């Protein structure tokens, strides 16, 4: 066939500008870099995101450079080789390969030019030197004449420690120019939590990477983001391996199944070749579900509110995490996603042979099952989902019943002799906010509650828990061996003081009370004994409140601890005693 009169099918410069309007966001773009590192058998992947402060009135951070460095096997640097061609759109040593997480050969470059104008790649193979290529959208030669051959060049000194010593690859994206894009604001990827839950300045990006590549992290791949190791995150809450909150309880696997599905070739079905789809469903622990109204939001860093959907993995790499739209057998018979769907987790895993059935895109985002497969998955998942929701609602009914019962157990059912001091602590304003117990994880707080009530039966334990929650300061009488006469526990915003009634101090106190009660004027004696008892409460309560002013995560010298404790103990004792005197101002002297 003659080539006369033909024109190029592609207008290179215009096409490149058009391709910059792809669907990549910053996390999925960085994901393309991590994919390449994992495909190169990297054991360590280092991501760096550099930003600058921008804005005149309202300040925000603008991403300036993204770097990915690894210790995987490097690329051949001869002209026309892998390194020379790696930026070329459509080039891939693994094009249409169904064995790994790559396939199309457009990821790294398409992701890079989505935001940046310059892509630089350094690569080194074992026993060879570093080589370098560059592609710059602002360089007419690169656009019109093509990518220059690799040259020998060492990576910048600041990044040499991030790559492997004997082999590795370094990719640098720079020249970010789409300043109006929300995706270029570094603040978009902060999690906004407080320590110790926060992983900022890129906490949410850390979370996204940890969830997307969780299986690889479990297999030993170490990923660092701005020198901070990325934690794995399992949206099924089953695995706590390399997780930020390993002490949290694990979810239960309530359903597992593998199904065989016919493989399509170029959109055509037929033949006997099949591939397996794995389905796993979990029910989140009751630990997260106690507070009906908060919906898990109190558990910072667990992202329970995002768990309203399904995680789909392709070759162990997550390619979708959201509600599946129109998930059902038609417009009427479908799953209507609700807030309570966050309490069960679902993971669907498949291999690349089934890409057509999961409508996988070239940017590995938005993989959703095709119609026939969607119906098959729905028929398996929907009954399990309904059973999970029933369990969640049944648990909430029990919680609500306990809360209703607890309305009558906020102290009236627990008769102690410490009510005056506890009421004083509740009504007396102390300007300083307590620090001790502020940074407890939910699991640590639960562990302290269990230790406080472990000697009690279930009914009494529940009553005391309600009492702890209802007031800032609680005093308990206890009995234990040893020389300690009090014990202190701190929860978030709460303090619990325990008296060891086996201690000689309290035995003597008890003797004094008995002697006073045997005085000639029993009325005065009883009042005096009670007043003495209340003042002792105030004395020790003041000490515990002074201790509550110390941040448990900070370091103090012994001298500082003693000085601050004595100072604050006296200050709080003065405040509480004055308040006590006002309470008893018009009482008769005893």
Domain with CATH 3.30.565 in the chain: 12-229
- What lies within 8 Å, CB to CB, of 443 at 6+ separation is 245, 247, 248, 249, 287
Q: Do the beta carbons of residue 135 and residue 142 sit within 8 Å?
A: yes
pLDDT at 196: 80
pLDDT at 365: 63
pLDDT at 321: 94
pLDDT at 103: 42
- What lies within 8 Å, CB to CB, of 513 at 6+ separation is 529, 532, 533
- At 573, list the tokens: 């004792």
pLDDT at 2: 55
pLDDT in tens, the chain (590 residues): 455 666 555 566 667 777 787 778 899 999 999 999 999 999 999 999 999 988 887 888 899 999 999 999 999 988 888 898 888 876 555 544 445 445 434 578 888 889 999 999 999 999 999 999 999 999 989 888 888 999 999 999 999 999 999 999 999 999 998 877 878 888 888 988 887 888 988 999 999 999 999 999 999 999 999 999 999 999 999 999 999 998 888 998 999 999 999 997 665 555 678 999 999 999 998 888 877 777 888 888 999 988 888 999 999 999 999 999 889 887 667 888 888 999 999 999 999 999 889 988 765 566 789 999 999 999 999 999 999 999 999 888 887 776 665 544 444 467 677 887 888 777 776 666 777 777 788 788 888 888 888 888 777 888 888 888 878 888 888 887 766 667 888 888 888 888 878 765 566 667 667 767 667 776 777 777 777 778 788 778 878 887 877 777 777 676 677 667 756 766 776 677 767 667 665 455 44
- What lies within 8 Å, CB to CB, of 436 at 6+ separation is 490, 495, 547, 548, 549, 550, 551, 552
> Which helix (H) or strand (E) is 279 found in, with range?
strand 274-283
Say whether 97 sits in a helix, a strand or coil: coil
Domain with CATH 3.30.230 in the chain: 252-402
CA atoms lying within 13 Å on the CB side of residue 130:
20
Phi/psi of residue 93, nearest 5 degrees:
-75, -10
pLDDT at 98: 46
Say which CATH class 12-229 falls into.
Answer: alpha beta
Whole-number Å distance between alpha carbons of 496 and 414:
15
pLDDT at 390: 92
Place of tokens 């230790």: 451
Which CATH topology does 252-402 take?
Ribosomal Protein S5; domain 2 (3.30.230)
Cα dihedral 423, 424, 427, 433, rounded to 10, equals -110
Axis-axis angle for helices 107-115, 26-39 (nearest 10) = 150
Whole-number Å distance between alpha carbons of 308 and 339:
7
The DSSP string of 197-251 is T--TTSHHHHHHHHHHTHHHHHTT-EEEETTEEPPB--TTS---TTBS-TTSPPP
């Amino acid at each position: 066939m003659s080539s006369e009169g033909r024109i190029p099918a592609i207008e290179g410069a215009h096409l490149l500008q058009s391709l910059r309007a792809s669907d990549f966001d910053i996390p999925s773009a960085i994901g393309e870099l991590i994919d390449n590192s994992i495909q190169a058998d990297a054991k360590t992947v280092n991501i760096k995101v550099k930003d600058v402060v921008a804005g005149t009135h309202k300040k925000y951070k603008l991403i300036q450079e993204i770097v990915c460095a690894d210790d995987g096997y490097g690329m051949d640097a001869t002209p026309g080789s892998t390194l020379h061609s790696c930026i070329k759109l459509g080039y891939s040593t693994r094009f249409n390969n169904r064995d790994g997480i790559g396939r199309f050969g457009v990821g790294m470059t398409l992701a890079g030019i989505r935001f940046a104008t310059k892509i630089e790649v350094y690569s080194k193979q074992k026993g060879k030197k570093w080589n370098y290529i560059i592609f710059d959208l602002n360089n007419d030669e690169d656009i019109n004449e093509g990518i220059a051959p690799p040259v020998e060049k060492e990576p910048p000194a600041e990044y040499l420690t991030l790559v492997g010593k004997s082999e590795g690859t370094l990719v640098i994206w720079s020249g970010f120019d789409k300043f109006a894009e929300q995706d270029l604001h570094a603040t978009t990827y902060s999690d906004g939590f407080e320590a110790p839950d926060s992983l900022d300045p890129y906490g949410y990006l850390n979370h996204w990477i940890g969830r997307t590549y969780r299986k690889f992290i479990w297999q030993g791949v170490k990923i660092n983001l701005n020198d901070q190791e990325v934690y794995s995150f399992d949206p099924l809450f089953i695995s706590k391996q390399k997780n930020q909150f390993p002490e949290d309880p694990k979810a239960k696997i309530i359903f597992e199944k593998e199904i065989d599905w016919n493989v399509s070739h170029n959109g055509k079905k037929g033949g006997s070749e099949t591939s397996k789809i794995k389905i796993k469903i979990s029910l989140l622990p009751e630990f997260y579900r106690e507070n009906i109204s908060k919906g898990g939001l109190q558990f910072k860093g667990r992202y329970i509110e995002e768990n309203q959907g399904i995680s789909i993995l392709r070759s162990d790499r997550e390619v979708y995490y959201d509600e599946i739209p129109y998930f059902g057998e038609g417009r009427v018979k479908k799953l209507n996603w609700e807030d309570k769907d966050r309490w069960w987790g679902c993971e669907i895993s498949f291999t690349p042979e089934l890409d057509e059935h999961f409508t996988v895109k070239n940017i590995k985002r938005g993989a959703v099952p095709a119609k026939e497969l969607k119906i098959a998955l729905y028929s398996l998942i929907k009954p399990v989902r309904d059973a999970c929701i029933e369990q969640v609602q049944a648990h909430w009914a029990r919680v609500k019943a306990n809360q209703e019962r607890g309305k009558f157990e906020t102290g009236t059912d627990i008769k102690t002799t410490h009510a005056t001091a506890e009421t004083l602590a509740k009504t007396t304003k102390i300007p300083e906010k307590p620090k001790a117990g502020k940074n407890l994880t939910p699991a640590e707080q639960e562990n302290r509650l269990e230790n406080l009530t472990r000697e009690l039966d279930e009914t009494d334990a529940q009553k005391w828990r309600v009492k702890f929650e209802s007031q800032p300061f609680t005093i308990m009488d206890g009995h234990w061996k040893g020389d300690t006469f009090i014990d202190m526990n701190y929860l978030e915003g709460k303090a619990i003081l325990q008296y060891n009634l086996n201690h000689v101090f309290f035995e003597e106190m008890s003797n004094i009370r008995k002697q006073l009660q045997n005085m000639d004027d029993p009325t005065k004696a009883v009042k005096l004994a009670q007043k003495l008892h209340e003042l002792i409460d105030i004395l020790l309560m003041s000490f515990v409140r002074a201790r509550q002013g110390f941040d448990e995560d900070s370091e103090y010298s012994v001298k500082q601890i003693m000085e601050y404790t004595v100072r604050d103990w006296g200050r709080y004792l003065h405040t509480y005693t004055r308040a006590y005197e006002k309470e008893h101002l018009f009482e008769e002297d005893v």
